[in-house]
A and B are shown apart, each in its own frame.
Chain A
Amino acid sequence: MNGKPAKQLTPLKTLFFSLIAFSLPASLHAQDWVRTGTNLGVEKIRLAAANFKPGTPDVQTGALKTVFDTTLFNDLKNAGVFDMVSKSMAPPAMPGGPSEMNLGAWSAAPANAAMVAFGTLAVNSGRVNVTGYVFDTKNPQSPQILGKNYGDTANEENTRQIAHHFADEIILRLGGGVNGICETKLYFVSNRGGNKEIWGMDYDGNGQHQITHLGTISISPRVAPDNSRIAFSSLGKNGWEIRMYSLVLNRMVSFQSPGGTTLSPAWNSDGSKIAFSSSRTGDNEIYVADSNGAGANRVTAFRGPDVSPTWNPKSNAQIAWVSGRTNLPQIYIMDADGANVQRLTDGGYATSPSWGPNGQFLVFSWNRKYGPGAPGGQDIYLMDIASKRWIQLTHDAGTNDFPSWAPDGRHIVFQRADGHGTQIWSMLADGTEQQQLTHDGWNAMPNWSWK
C-alpha cells in the first residue's frame, strides 16, 4: 500500500502512506510483489537441524562439532526460506545415520518438523569427516532427500566451510532451486588498520581480514563475478583512481584508470566490462571500459555529478546510476550506451543503487525529506523498476547506505551508522532479519560477491 507508483503520490497520499508505514511492523511491509521477486515467496518448510553425532570421542571432535552445529543451524535460519525448529524443541537424540533416525519423534509436537537434517562428525588422523542427511518425516517409506560426505584437514575454518557447503546443498534442494549464499563473501572498507583499506569476510561476518595495505584511502570495493579480482577506488598523489587487486595472485594488478577523479567501479555480470565515474572532462560522468580499463567510452553528458553505476546483471544492457543534474542526487536508468535515460526517484536524496540478480529490482539509499532544517532518515529502499513501486526496508534505525544484493536475490548487505558507529549489517530483501556483522572499528560500503 505504500508501494504505489511514486509519481502518482499526491502530498496528502504521501502523508497517509507515511503514517501507515510508521504504524505497521516491518514484517507487514513484505508485500506479495516483493516476496515473489526476491525468491522469499516460497512456502517455508518446517526444518529441524539435529545436533550431529560425534563419530570419535576426542576433545577436538567436540570442539569442531560445536562449530559445525552452530554454523549449520545459523545458515539454515539465515536462508530466509525455512521455519526452523528451535533447538529447545528438538528431541534430545543425536541420530548419526539413517538407522538411528526416529522420524516420529521429529514430526510430533513440539518439533513438528517436516524435514530433519542430521548426521555424524568425526576426526580421524587429522582430518574432519562429516556425513550429513536430510530426511522427509512425511515419507517414511523413502525418507532420504539428501545424503552427503565431506572431508578436509581438521580445523575450525574448514569445519565451518563444510557446514556452509552442506547448508547450501539443503537450501538449493528445499528452497525453490535457488543457490544458497553460505559460501559467498563480503568485501568492505574498514579503518581498523589505521587507514581505510579493503577487507573481506564470510557472508555471516566470520573470518574478517584485511586485503589491501596501501596506506591511503581506499573505498568502493566491487568484486569480479568470478571472484578473481576486486576493483576499488583509491586516493593517490594525483587524486582518485580505480585500482585492481587480484584475489588469485594476492597482489595489486594493473588497471588503466583515466585521469581526473575516478570513482565507483561496477562489473557487468560476465566480467568483461567495468562502468565507473570519471571527471576527466572536468565533470564526473559515467564511462564504460573493458575490465582492464582500456577503451573507456563516456555514456553520460550532463552538467552535474554522475556516479555510482550498477549494471542490470540479467541483461548487461542497462545501467542504473546517481545523477545530480537536477541538484539533489536521484536514481536514473539508461541503456548501456547512454540512450533512454529515465529518472526513477521523485525527490529527496537518493544514492547508491544496486541492481538485483533477476533484473527486476533496485535497492538504494534514500532520504525522502533531505534538506536543511528537515533532517529525514536515510534508509534502504527497494524499487520495482518497471512499475516504480517501492517499499522502505529499514525504519528508524540510524543512517543507512550502500546496499548490495546477494546473488540469491533474498539478502541485502548494507552499512548503518548509529550510536554504535558505522557497521555492516545484513537483512532479508523484505527488510526483516536485520543482523549486525561487524563490531570493531569503522566498517562501510559492503559488496556481496556474485557466487
Chain B
Amino acid sequence: MQSVSRRTSHYRSLTLTAGFAAMLVLAGCHKKAAAPPPPPPAAPSAEAPTATITAAPTSINAGDSVVLSWRTTGASDVEIEGMGPVASAGTRNVKPTESTNYHLIAKGDGGTADATARVTVNAAAASNMSEGDVDDNMFHQNVKDIFYDYDSYDVNSAAQPTIAQDASFLNQHPNLKVVIGGYCDERGSTEYNLALGENRANAAKQALVTAGVGPDRLRTVSYGKEKQFCTDHSESCWQQNRRAQFSVDR
C-alpha cells in the first residue's frame, strides 16, 4: 500500500515538475539529464557541499537494472529522494518500472547541494500506464497519420504498416477514444472534398477496426480542405494534406 502510494505521488511529481521533457523521455527519446542547478552561495565559515550522481545505463526497458553512483563532499546529511538516507558516496542497483528522477541531496554546515540522475524506461513498458497518462505528444509519437493517393480514399500499401502500429498502440490502451480527421489537398471543390475527407477518415476507421480496434472508440470528422496542414502549392505539400489524422477524443 505504502509503496503504491509513494510510486503514484512520485509519478505525479515527476509529471508536474519534469512536464514536457518527461513526456518526451517516456516516449522513448533519450534525453540527457538536465544540468543540476548551481549550488547556493557557501557560508564563509564552512566548506560548501558538493554532490554528483550518475546512472548507468540511463535508458532501459522495464525490468532491467540500473547502477546508481553518487559522491558528495562537505556534507553531513546525504539522502536520495524516495530511497532515504544514504552514505556520502556509494553505488546501488535499482530496477525502476517507470522513468524516474533520482534526486541526491547533500546538506552540510556550508549549505546544501543536489544533483539528479534520470533513468528512462522505454515506451515498450507504456502499456502499464493508465489512459490519463497518454498526452498528445505521446499519442502522436505512437499513432501516426496515414496519407492517401491523389483523389483516393483507399488505405494504400504504404499506409498498412502505420495502421498496424497505430492499432497496436490503441489495442494496448483500450480506454483511449480517438477522433479521425479526414483531410484533402487544396485542389478541387469544397463540398466534394468534405465528402472525400469523410471517406478517408472512414477508410482509416475501417482499417483500424479490421486490426481489432473497437468501432465505438473511433469517431470521424471531415475537414476537407478547410484546415490545411501545409499551404504551399506543390505536390509534396498536397501529399501532406491528403491524410487521416488521429487525435485523442476528449
Residues of A at the B interface (CB closer than 8 Å) are 196, 217, 219-220, 233, 235, 238-240, 260-261, 263-264, 277, 279, 282-284, 304-308, 322, 324, 327-329, 349, 351-352, 365, 370, 372, 401-402, 444-445
Q: Which residues of A contact B223 (CB under 8 A)?
A: 235
Known contacts A239-B220, A365-B189; decide if A260 and B195 are in contact (CB<8 Å).
Answer: no
Known contacts A219-B190, A401-B189; decide if A305 and B195 are in contact (CB<8 Å).
Answer: yes
Q: Which residues of B contact A283 (CB under 8 A)?
A: 198-199, 202
Q: Which residues of B contact A328 (CB under 8 A)?
A: 151
Additional A-B contacts beyond A263-B191, A279-B202, A322-B189 (11; CB < 8 A): A238-B219, A279-B199, A279-B220, A283-B202, A305-B196, A305-B198, A307-B194, A322-B192, A324-B192, A329-B188, A349-B189
Give the interface size class of chain B. 20 to 34
Q: Which residues of A contact B199 (CB under 8 A)?
A: 279, 283-284, 304-305, 324
A-B contact pairs, 18 of them (CB 8 A): A220-B190, A261-B195, A279-B199, A279-B220, A284-B195, A284-B198, A284-B199, A305-B198, A307-B192, A307-B195, A308-B191, A327-B152, A349-B189, A351-B189, A351-B192, A401-B189, A401-B190, A444-B190
B245 close to A (CB within 8 Å): no
Give residues 195-210 of B contacting A (CB, 8 Å): 195-199, 202, 205-206
The reply to whether B188 and A351 contact each other, CB–CB distance below 8 Å, is: yes
Q: Which residues of B contact A370 (CB under 8 A)?
A: 188
The docked-state distance in angstroms from the alpha carbon of A304 to that of B151 is 11
The docked-state distance in angstroms from the alpha carbon of A15 to that of B95 is 75
Q: Which residues of B contact A352 (CB under 8 A)?
A: 189, 191
Known contacts A217-B226, A327-B151, A372-B150; decide if A306 and B195 are in contact (CB<8 Å).
Answer: yes
Nearest chain A residue, comparing its CB with the CB of B223: A235
The reply to whether B191 and A261 contact each other, CB–CB distance below 8 Å, is: no
B101 close to A (CB within 8 Å): no
Known contacts A282-B202, A327-B151, A352-B189; decide if A277 and B222 are in contact (CB<8 Å).
Answer: no
B235 close to A (CB within 8 Å): yes
The docked-state distance in angstroms from the alpha carbon of A279 to that of B220 is 10
Q: Which residues of B contact A402 (CB under 8 A)?
A: 189-190
The reply to whether A351 and B151 contact each other, CB–CB distance below 8 Å, is: no
Residues of B at the A interface (CB closer than 8 Å) are 150-153, 188-192, 194-199, 202, 205-206, 219-223, 226, 235
The docked-state distance in angstroms from the alpha carbon of A361 to that of B223 is 32
Q: Which 6 pairs of residues, A with B, have the shortest CB-CB distance?
A: A305-B195, A351-B189, A284-B195, A307-B195, A261-B198, A239-B221
Q: Which residues of A contact B192 (CB under 8 A)?
A: 305, 307-308, 322, 324, 329, 351
The reply to whether A324 and B222 contact each other, CB–CB distance below 8 Å, is: no
Q: Which residues of B contact A220 (CB under 8 A)?
A: 190-191
The reply to whether B151 and A261 contact each other, CB–CB distance below 8 Å, is: no
The reply to whether A240 and B151 contact each other, CB–CB distance below 8 Å, is: no
The docked-state distance in angstroms from the alpha carbon of A328 to that of B187 is 13
Known contacts A235-B226, A239-B221; decide if A277 and B195 are in contact (CB<8 Å).
Answer: yes
Minimum Cβ distance to chain A for residue B125 (Å): 35
Q: Which residues of A contact B152 (CB under 8 A)?
A: 327
The docked-state distance in angstroms from the alpha carbon of A289 to that of B205 is 28
Known contacts A261-B195, A307-B195, A351-B192; decide if A240 and B202 are in contact (CB<8 Å).
Answer: no
Q: Which residues of B contact A401 (CB under 8 A)?
A: 189-190
Minimum Cβ distance to chain A for residue B57 (Å): 46
The docked-state distance in angstroms from the alpha carbon of A279 to that of B195 is 8
Most buried by A among B191, B198, B205, B219: B191
Minimum Cβ distance to chain B for residue A249 (Å): 27
The docked-state distance in angstroms from the alpha carbon of A101 to that of B188 is 56
The reply to whether B222 and A240 contact each other, CB–CB distance below 8 Å, is: yes
The reply to whether B226 and A329 contact each other, CB–CB distance below 8 Å, is: no
Minimum Cβ distance to chain A for residue B215 (Å): 10
Q: Which residues of A contact B205 (CB under 8 A)?
A: 282
Q: Which residues of A contact B151 (CB under 8 A)?
A: 324, 327-328
The reply to whether A261 and B235 contact each other, CB–CB distance below 8 Å, is: no
Minimum Cβ distance to chain B for residue A212 (Å): 16
Minimum Cβ distance to chain B for residue A326 (Å): 11
Minimum Cβ distance to chain A for residue B82 (Å): 42
Q: Which residues of A contact B189 (CB under 8 A)?
A: 308, 322, 329, 349, 351-352, 365, 401-402
Partner of B194, one of A261, A327, A329, A444: A261
The docked-state distance in angstroms from the alpha carbon of A126 to that of B151 is 60
Q: Which residues of B contact A238 (CB under 8 A)?
A: 219, 221
Q: Which residues of A contact B220 (CB under 8 A)?
A: 239, 260-261, 279
Q: Which residues of B contact A240 (CB under 8 A)?
A: 194, 221-222
The docked-state distance in angstroms from the alpha carbon of A401 to that of B187 is 12
Known contacts A235-B226, A445-B190; decide if A324 and B195 are in contact (CB<8 Å).
Answer: yes
Q: Which residues of B contact A444 (CB under 8 A)?
A: 190
Nearest chain B residue, comparing its CB with the CB of A285: B195
The docked-state distance in angstroms from the alpha carbon of A415 to that of B220 is 29
